[in-house]
Structure 1
């Protein structure tokens, strides 16, 4: 097991511990203040029984989302670190650092690689201060979930600049999705201190464990509605989306912080 996985497991144990109320309230208050969390859409920090509860907090105020059926919405609150055209099978991890979608998605998705060549991609980075739940960007049918064990390097901008193929080395969960007969992928990338990635429609998925083999779950007629909560990171991490060639036109969002529910692209 890589050192990053071990560190993350120990941090995960700390984060899920429910300390006595007065200690937990202090921990939560320090975290909110030090990370400069905006709690205006959430319950007061004193109500969360552990750091995990705080990390994975639900919205207490309904978020308005773009309901236009031709629009994909952001699945997360995040910073858009890169986006644009896939050049052949290559996308940018960050400026000057390329990665291959073939390596990221693994050979298990090889039958669909041709559709993704020269398509579109977008990288969403969730910092520790962000809302950690991820939502459906549109109505879609999930065909497969692929869990790829791996390392848990940090995914902040500093590490993205120096760690080649970081996304393809880290543990990740891949969703293969169909919307109106068009293909797109959502890739949820683990990171240091992300003790677990949770998927509410597939409780069998267990990340950051001793599992070393790729796990594949296949579905029939599993429909996810736009805005539905798919699950959550237990701390910050990254989501990457790929769309097949000719499917969508992206908004210009590189370097911008965006919210779940905001328009990220429109169908052609």
Structure 2
């Protein structure tokens, strides 16, 4: 068995601490300290002292559902995040951050056919960075069908702005879960969950067999029949902040956001072209 990367060991160690349920008095200190240190806005959530572990605080759910547009043409943000980059793919090249590009064919891994990878060539991409203070759950951006999920083991390098600027192919090196999705009109796009340092787990609620930051060394493929998810549906969470990348078929999305925009889950970030 190959020796696991140090970033994986660090993330696992932090995960054990975050999952530990300390005595209530001490857990309150941990939780309130984290909220103050990171500057969390808890106005939409329960009191920090009510969460039984730091991880329960990380993966907190909204007290009340957020409202968002039900118009089929409105493509919504899947998470609370910073748009670190977005725009048009040049063939299969996307920007990790300004001045640093990578090949999306490599990001998608070896378990998608070239035809499946070609779906998004010359299309649109959006990179969503979730900081440690953000709401860590992710949601479905439009009504869709999930065709395939691929878990790609990898490293756990930080994905914050300084790291994006200094490490080429960061998204490709890190562990990720890639979802191939299809719209009702037959257009294709990908939702890619990218790990980061201290992100011990990326949860995918509709496929509990996906176990990230585990002992898997080979890509794992999951195929689905008749798996339809609705816009706004909660489909999992990061345990700590990380990144989501969306890659869309050419002429599918007209982006309404730009680099450095701060968005919240439910905001309309693009117009969907159904034709």
TM-score (norm 2): 0.96
Asked if residue 255 in structure 1 is aligned to residue 243 in structure 2, the reply is: no
Structure 1: gaps spanning 5 or more residues: none
- Matches of 2:117 and 2:176 in 1, distance apart? 18
Equivalent residue for 2:143? 139
- Matches of 2:31 and 2:251 in 1, distance apart? 46
Runs of 4+ in 1 over 6 A off after TM superposition: none
Asked if residue 119 in structure 1 is aligned to residue 123 in structure 2, the reply is: yes
Judge conservation of contact 2:83–2:128 (CA < 8 Å) in 1.
Answer: yes
Equivalent residue for 2:153? 149
Judge conservation of contact 2:108–2:117 (CA < 8 Å) in 1.
Answer: no
- How far 1:115 moved relative to its partner? 2.2
| 3-state SS of 2:102 partner | strand
Q: Deviations over 1:185-231 (max 9, x none)?
A: 00000000001000111111100011101000000000001100010
Judge conservation of contact 2:144–2:230 (CA < 8 Å) in 1.
Answer: yes
- How far 1:71 moved relative to its partner? 1.1
Equivalent residue for 2:226? 221
- How far 1:113 moved relative to its partner? 2.2
Equivalent residue for 1:168? 172
Asked if residue 98 in structure 1 is aligned to residue 108 in structure 2, the reply is: no
Structure 2: gaps spanning 5 or more residues: none
- Matches of 1:106 and 1:194 in 2, distance apart? 20
- How far 1:253 moved relative to its partner? 2.7
Equivalent residue for 1:18? 21
Equivalent residue for 1:83? 86
Match among 124, 128, 132 for residue 128 of structure 1: 132
TM-score (norm 1): 0.99
Judge conservation of contact 2:119–2:189 (CA < 8 Å) in 1.
Answer: no
Asked if residue 184 in structure 1 is aligned to residue 192 in structure 2, the reply is: no
